[in-house]
Structure 1
Amino acid sequence: MRAAWLLLAVAAALYCAVRFAGPTPLQTNLLALLPATEADPVAEEAVDQLAGALGNRAVLLVSSDDAAHAKAAAEQLGAALTASRAFASVTARVPPFDLGRITRFYSPYRFGLLTAEDRASVAGGAEALRGALAERLYGLPAAGLATSLSEDPFGWLQHWLAGLPLAASNLTVEDGLLVSHHGSTTSVLVVGTLPASAYDADVQRSVLLAVARGETALKVTWPDVTVARTGAVFYAEAARRASERDVHVIGIVTSVGIALLMLWIFRSPRLIFLGFLSTALGILFALAITMFVFGKLHLLTLVFGASLIGEAVDYSIQYFVVYLGARHNWDSQRGAREVLPALTVALSTSLLGYAILAFAPFSALRQIACFAIVGIFTAFASVIGLLPGLMTQPPRSSPRTLFAVAASSLKRWHALIGGRRAWGVALVLVIVAVPGWLQLRSDDDIHLLIQRDPALVAQERQVSGAVGVENSAQFFVVRGATPEMVLERAEALCERIGALTGASAVSGWQSVTSFVPSARQQRADHALLDAHVFDDPSALRAMLGAAGFRDEVAQAWPAAYASSGTSVLRVEDWLAEPWSQPFRHLWLGRSASTPGAFVAVVIPQGVTLANEPALLGVAQALPGVSFVDKAASVSRLFGVYRHDGAIWLAVALTLVFALLMVRYGWREAIAVMMPVWLAIGVTLGVFGYLHVAINLFHLLALMLVLGVGANYAVFLREGAMRSASDHGAVWTGVLLSATTTLLSFGMLGMSSMPALKSFGATLSLGIMVSVMLAPIGIPSIQRRKA
């Protein structure tokens, strides 16, 4: 048996070592915590692709009240980041670019590219055309992209190019740098492209090191310069660092605390070693199995796993209690058989609580469930199958005085709350808790559960304010069977958005149709010109000649129109242009989740609580269009599952009660379950009095209160049923088990993750109440001794 355990432990340790030696298996992506919220898989795919497209950039803003200092510092920082090789590319100085390339790209398609104003002008007849021609010839020169008079005599292409959202920000190019001015402050943008995923730990470390060194060097040369940063890599690194700190603090404090408690109670370093051996096997096996099943290990799982130490050690503590209580009559196998019923019932209730987590819609919670189930089952199996072979000798000493004091306190406490008085205690607690229940409220906002680093949030706002473009989390997903259908639907959507007025209006939007109109629109514009401009070639030549155009121009321009009849701009042509790179995320292309579907996104600017209902209504009125607000969708889903969680909890209570009825009968099962029922009720009442907003994670934690808290009443009940058992030893073991569990789960309240704080607070309070009421579940001590 020992050899088998050793072989399994070595195999698990080697597997974990191999996984951690290669690419890190740790998952730091906060989005991995969130469930799929969109009924349409295309919309969910768009969420992932858009997050990936925008998440591989690190943006740094170098600012100073001295413009020369800001520009010089930005160039120095860009050179330092490039030299660090932490980035695939770094852009500080904008490479020279011929703006005429954009004009030349669109020129072959110019007869199908009209603005709404020019469409009205063209349809207005000859007088409107002469006015447009005169304005083109004698008006002020247009800023931005210009076209030649010979190729664009009426300025239609120039007007259309002016509407391209190429400069939809506060940034301007000065001295080859992207510069923003706000008051007396000058800010320069430096953008780095990551070589791999922002959630890769190696990428995070190299990027943070490079940026830190670059900032340190800037402070030496330019003390007045400040650097603000934003990007998924910085948020992911902050989350990873905080989680690793949680793992270390929780793991170390829990382990040291449990070791000191066990040393004080058992006075035996050997028992401490064996207790931690059983727990270590559980954690090791849980790590290996979870990584094998899920491929990745989320940091949330690792932090929760560190707190599992306190629960996993409970099984060995119960065995040690029997060991010390037997004294010189110790038989390791008989001891295992005596403790087996209690541990089996306790294991069953705990597994039931964690199994419900496995059905939660969040991958991280399913990971936690897998980790916990494997961990506590391994701890249970090692106590029954391994420890008896390592504890064959009777104990040299036993804490008899401590056990006697515990037995006396249990007797007095049971006299106060046990027997028939239990119903009075329950009634009093319910009466006290009812006002708290009436004050309960809920808040399912996802932002309360996934908290971002406040310093990084402030820097992100600084960068967004300087650039002038918000990082909107709301967008439209447009899908269709063909690229043309997607473009047509996107045009209809943009028309509806542009028609919104008042509080429903937005400040603008980004769409691929701003760069590539649909073929239908291009053909319609071409047909409009054919009907009103090129329908009478002689009159057109006369109009151009009267305006002063040479004969060759007056003939060449209509000839160019005649040869452009089938020229249609396609998305593929635009994507092939290097200057389209900053806007390519607007076109997602062929869907991977839904065969035969093509997808684009339209990103509105200035989304508020006032105009979001109008945007949602626009999406619902158009086929193939959906409005995505990931945070709001998750919050709504949290609310749905919070309601369902109450049903899950009721089902779990029923199943555990049925399990205990099989073991004890219905009367005694009520007594054993009463501490858990009251613990859940008191916990909810306290939350009501303290005005703690209830969320899904509180309810999931209550299920663990059921699974873990029921163990203490079971341990006491089973101890009372064993012949010649020492009540003091049993009560000592229960209190020690509860203390170790409180220590570990209570440490979750210090976690940087709000979701784990909810877990920790609920578990700590629920377990505290359940262990104090656990004596209700045992029969009268006096009657048993009689």
Structure 2
Amino acid sequence: MDMPQQRTAKHAWGVRAAWLVLALLAALYCGWRFAGASPLETNLLALLPATEADPVAEKAVDTLASALGDRTVLLVTSRDDAHAKAAAKQLGASLQKSGAFASVTAELPPFDLSQISALYLPYRFGLLAPADRTALATARATTLHDMLAQRIYSPLQGGLSTQLADDPFGWLERWLGNLPLATSNLEVEDNLLVSHRHDAHGDMTSVLVIATLSGSAYETKTQRAVHAALADAESALRQTFPDVSVARTGAVFYAEAARSASEREVHVIGIASLAGIALLMMSVFRSPRLLLLGFVSTALGIVCALAATLLIFGKLHLLTLVFGASLIGEAVDYSIQYFVVYLGAGRDWDARLGARRVRPALGVALATSLLGYAILMWVPFPALKQIACFAMVGITTAFASVLWLLPALLTRAPKHSPRRLFAGAARLLARWQHALGGKRAWLVAALLLIASVPGWLRLSSDDDIHLLIQRDASLAAQEDTVREAVGVDNSAQFFVVRGATQEAVLQRAEALGAKLDALNGSADSVGGYQSVAQFVPSAQRQSEDRALLARQVFGDFAALRATLLQAGFKDEVADAWLAGFAQPPAPLTVERWLAAPWSQPYRHLWLGAVGSNDKNRARQPGYAAVVIPQGVTPRNEPALIALARGLPGVVLVDKAASVSRLFGAYRVDSGWWLGGALVLVCVLLMLRYGARGGIATTLPVLFAVGVALAVFGYAGVPLNLFNWLALMLVLGVGANYAVFLREGCARAEADLGAVWTGVLLSAATTLLSFGMLGMSAMPALKSFGTTLALGIAVAVLLAPLGMPSAARSGKSSEPRRAA
């Protein structure tokens, strides 16, 4: 072996070693990340952008999601009352024993309701129910006798009652009765939370079992532990109580279902794509070695893309994972083009020369693809940013491996070449270009335009986020069953109330509550609400209530004492109650309420200290709270929005509607982005092929976009943001086929039959992958896949439009800037 050959061999081994090190580093990093806590992001909210102009509203969304995310609710139902209760106890005991949950509550622990009244007792003279406030404001002193008599001789009240000596007129008891503590459909029976319902087949008893997760609902370890624990518990339950059914709801179940579905799709799409691409490549190249090298290049792209995405974002969205499986078809395109040059060279093969020959075509193709994906980086959707990052790193790595690794691995000339296949492809290309090219190109363009216009006129759109992020149907049905039994609706709208101080927030929450109460009896009424101001009135409200009592009740201590004594109160009891009013404590505060253990289920109503919303007064602290209305419908939502706009510091937050509006806004913007990207691609191709050549090479992908839109119009399929973003990728990927053909025409030694074979094979592998993506159960990916498959199919069929006319002879010596 002479010196040049030795240097070449050493260089080849150096390149192989460098790529091997890169592959090992990327693979080890991915293995390390997946060996620990799962990096998969199964929280659907994490897929969505920050839609609210006020970051406090986004904090409220996150707070409510986390408050509910660690709770799991199970509903045990039977037509036999005793069986339902016994089964609930057994289920609770089984789940607690499993260790999958931090706590499980089936039987209620002993709880003294007097703990609630004990918190408010020192502040009772500043707590008046609305009805009492109205009565006292209009009452005469003589009515105190009637109020006292009614309190003394009324039957004993259940629930939050107060001692007669502490609350002789019952003002505190009635105020406590207005606290939004429980849902009306649930009753406490035998220390269980029970709901009784009736249907066409008779009575049903449902018992609620509440469990708290030991970890995050979005961790794979937690999901698997909960799944196993429930499977074992329900299996034992069916043996003991075959008539009992169990419905479940909670973020952990949706997250587990989403993760399982995405893993299934990754396997299906990945295996089907690999198998299909392998069959296609073997049928054309008939070389296991080329097949292996193609997959090496693709695998390098995917593993490096996975490592880079995990390194940059920390988490991997499910959408990115499934999309990554479909990237196989696109990443293998670059190696296919290299193999075509390899087989076309025959015995004259030179690996480095082959890389130089294919570099211009791959470079232009990479630039157009990167442009399409780069636009996704500008869209403020975390999942789309990840997909863009994954794809850009993946195809760039595949591109680099084709130019530097494959020449080091594919040094020997091919033993045989599919000349007959290439000759047949050349004849097919010649006929197809003859049908499309020359003067007929204008006729083809006119026919496509005429056929497309009616479809464009029928285009519609639907930006509803619920159509794009689909929940598991079985879990949604079970959630509806639980909500129906418990009596809670599924509204996701809530008010955020802000203020410079805690007192300002409470006052504004009270004003909002008064407005909501005023809607009762109208078509816009809501079914109640939860507000921190119901638990902690503002200091102003407490002061006003105390002042009202001072005027109407405590104005004459002697007469009031006589009234109490006449009603049978002992001297020391009357004196103690009067002394309580004479020595008022400081007003009740939010901190005092938060410190009470029983306030835990309602603490999400108070967001606490937040940043200022005023850009001119940055860093100034503020406070915020949440008011959650029940029974929000499309009918009364406009009234609630108008109500919020009429109150300072109050905004109605509807995350789903906000995301849908953002989808709509970016869908419109994406049309402009697509037009701008088409212009950029055309300019890029004009710099490479001259004015006429650049325009001709752009036409196939331009027609592909137009035909895809027309097909959606004719089919009556509403467009969403993901359809338009997929058209960006149609531009980036579909432009490659005309580029590959034109670059083949520019190489005097190129076999256009081999080039066309490579183009068809590249398109087939891409269509296979994205076609599988179009079968995804994830609506967003389905929109992506169907649009990409349709656009790419049209782009490859029209790719010969971009060929120079000189190519009809089978060769072209087109200069770099020639038309």
Fold shared, TM-score > 0.5 on shorter chain: yes
| Conservation of the 8 A alpha-carbon contact between 1:355 and 1:369 | yes
- Structure 1 stretch displaced more, 163-172 or 659-668: 163-172
* Helix, strand or coil at the partner of 1:750: coil
Q: Which residue of 1 aligns with 2:194?
A: 179
Moved more, 263-272 or 525-534: 525-534
Q: Does 1:251 find its partner at 2:270?
A: yes
Q: Cα deviation per residue 1:463-510 (whole Å; 9 max; x = unaligned)?
A: 000001123210001112222211111101100111114211111101
Q: Distance in 2 between matches of 1:772 and 1:147?
A: 82
Q: Is the 8 Å Cα contact of residues 121 and 132 (structure 1) preserved in structure 2?
A: no
Greater than 6 Å deviation, 4+ residue runs: none
Instruction: Please state how far the C-alpha of 1:785 moved relative to its aligned partner.
Output: 4.8
Q: 1:658 aligns with which of 683, 698, 710?
A: 683
Whether 2:550 is the aligned partner of 1:530: answer yes
**1:333 match:** 352
| 8 Å contact kept, 2:42–2:218 | yes
Q: 1:482 is matched with which residue: 480, 501, 508?
A: 501
Mapped to 2, the partners of 1:209 and 1:593 lie a distance apart of: 46
Contact 1:230 1:463 in 2 (8 A): yes
User: Quick check: 2:750–2:811 contact (8 Å CA) kept in 1?
Assistant: no
Shift of 1:160: 0.7
1:549 pairs with 2:564: no
Q: What whole-Å deviation, never above 9, does each CA across 1:170-215 have from its counterpart, x for those lacking one?
A: 1111111111100110000011101121101110010011111111
Match of 1:379 in 2: 398
Code of the aligned partner of 1:526:
R
| Matched residue type, 1:242 | A
Partner of residue 211, structure 1:
230
Report whether the alignment pairs 1:769 with 2:809: no
* Count of residue correspondences: 785
Q: How far did 1:527 drift?
A: 1.1
Is the CA contact (8 Å cut-off) linking 1:169 and 1:469 kept in structure 2?
A: no
2:776 to 745, 751, 754: 751
Give CA-to-partner distance per residue, 1:559-582, whole Å, 9 cap, x none.
Answer: 111112x33111111112222122
Q: Which segments of 5 or more consecutive residues in structure 2 lack a partner in the other structure?
A: 1-14, 614-618, 813-819
Q: Which residue of 2 aligns with 1:342?
A: 361
Q: Would you say the 8 A contact 1:315–1:380 is kept in 2?
A: yes
- One of 749, 753, 757 as aligned partner of 1:728: 753
Alignment of 1:297-336 (within 5 A): 297-336=316-355
SS in 2 for 1:328: helix
Shift of 1:289: 0.6
Contact persistence 1:679–1:767 (CA under 8 A): yes
Equivalent in the alignment of 1:43: 57
Aligned to 1:686: 711
Aligned mates of 2:568, 2:546 — CA distance in 1? 25
The whole-number CA distance in structure 2 between the counterparts of 1:150 and 1:72 is 41
- The correspondence of residues 438-453 of structure 1 with structure 2, limited to 5 A, is 438-453=457-472
Counterpart check, 1:540 vs 2:550? no
Alignment partner, residue 61 of structure 1: 75
Most deviating of 659-668 and 479-488? 479-488
How far does residue 139 in structure 1 lie from its aligned partner after superposition? 2.8
Shift of 1:4: 1.3
Equivalent position to 2:180, from 158, 161, 165: 165
Structure 1 counterpart of 2:409, from 372, 382, 390: 390
Contact 1:121/1:129 (<8 A) preserved: no
Specify whether residues 38 and 702 from structure 1 end up closer, same or farther in structure 2 by C-alpha distance, changes over 3 A only. Answer: same
Q: State the partner residue of 2:151.
A: 136
CA distance in structure 2 between the partners assigned to 1:703 and 1:523 by the alignment: 62
Cα distance in 2 between the residues matched to 1:567 and 1:747:
67
Q: For residue 524 of structure 2, what is the amino acid of its counterpart? A: S
Letter in 1 for 2:746: M
Q: 1:19 aligns with which of 30, 33, 40?
A: 33
Q: Which residue of 1 aligns with 2:616?
A: none
8 Å CA contact 1:170, 1:467 repeated in 2: yes
Distance 1:583 1:573 in 2: 14
Task: Determine helix, strand or coil for the equivalent of 1:450.
Answer: coil
Q: RMSD of the TM alignment (CA)?
A: 1.2
Partner of residue 572, structure 1: 591
Q: How many Å separate the matches in 1 of 2:317 and 2:64? A: 22
What residue is the counterpart of 1:519 in the other structure? 539
Contact 1:477–1:600 at 8 Å: present in 2 too? yes
Rounded to whole Å, the distance in 1 between the matches of 2:541 and 2:48 is 40
For 1:638 and 1:520, locate their aligned partners in 2 and report how far apart those are by CA, in whole Å.
43
Per the alignment, residue 648 of structure 1 pairs with 673
Q: 1:98 aligns with which of 90, 95, 112?
A: 112
Instruction: Provide TM-score, normalisation by structure 1.
Output: 0.99
Letter of the structure 1 residue corresponding to residue 759 of structure 2: V
In structure 1, C-alpha distance between the alignment counterparts of 2:565 and 2:34, rounded to whole Å: 78
The secondary structure found in structure 1 opposite 2:63 is helix
Evaluate the alpha carbon distance shift between residue 555 and residue 280 of structure 1 in structure 2; reply closer, same or farther with a 3 A threshold: same
The question of 1:699 aligning with 2:714 is answered no
Query: Does the residue aligned with 1:197 lie in a helix, a strand or coil?
Result: coil
CA distance in structure 1 between the aligned counterparts of 2:319 and 2:779, rounded to whole angstroms: 11
Partner Cα separation in structure 2 for residue 188 and residue 502 of structure 1: 34
Matches within 5 A, 1:593-604: 595=619, 596-604=621-629
Q: Secondary structure at the match of 1:386?
A: helix
Distance 2:497 2:762 in 1: 56
**1:263-316 C-alpha deviation (Å, 9 max, x unpaired):** 110000000010000000000110111110001111110100100000000000
Task: Tell me the amino acid that sits aligned with residue 659 of structure 1.
Answer: L
Moved more, 765-774 or 541-550: 541-550
Tell whether the 8 Å contact from 2:494 to 2:652 is kept in structure 1 after alignment. yes
SS in 1 for 2:774: helix
User: Corresponding residue for 2:808?
Assistant: 782
8 Å Cα contact 2:752-2:810 kept in structure 1:
no
Contact 2:247 2:479 in 1 (8 A): yes
**Correspondence list, 1:575-614, <5 A:** 575-591=594-610, 595=619, 596-614=621-639
Among 197, 206, 210, which residue is 1:191 paired with? 210
Asked if the contact 2:69–2:252 (Cα under 8 Å) also holds between the matched residues in 1, the reply is yes
**1:353 matched to 2:372:** yes
Q: Is the 8 A contact 2:748 2:811 kept in 1?
A: no
Indicate the percent of aligned positions where both proteins have the same amino acid. 66
The answer to whether the Cα contact below 8 Å between 1:353 and 1:707 also exists between their aligned partners in 2 is: yes
- CA–CA distance in structure 2, aligned partners of residues 169 and 411 of structure 1: 77
CA distance in 2, matches of 1:279, 1:17: 18
Task: List aligned pairs for 1:140-155, cutoff 5 A.
Answer: 140-155=155-170
Report what 1:10 is aligned to: 24
Q: How far apart, in 2, do the equivalents of 1:642 and 1:97 lie?
A: 54
Distance 2:771 2:189 in 1: 56
Shift of 1:546: 2.4
- Provide the C-alpha distance between the structure 1 equivalents of 2:431 and 2:106, rounded to a whole number of angstroms: 76
Q: Is the partner of 2:369 in helix, strand or coil?
A: helix
Q: 2:453, 2:325 → 1: CA distance?
A: 35
The CA distance in 1 between the partners of 2:142 and 2:131, in whole Å, is: 15
Letter aligned with residue 44 of structure 1: E
In 1, Cα distance between equivalents of 2:56 and 2:687: 49
Note the C-alpha offset of 1:409: 0.5
501-510 vs 68-77, greater mean Cα deviation: 501-510
Matches within 5 A, 1:418-437: 418-437=437-456
Indicate the larger mover: 449-458 or 539-548. Answer: 539-548
> How far did residue 591 of structure 1 move?
2.4
8 Å contact kept, 2:536–2:593: yes
Name the CA distance, whole Å, in 2 between partners of 1:276 and 1:783.
35
**Maintained 8 Å contact 1:34/1:362:** yes
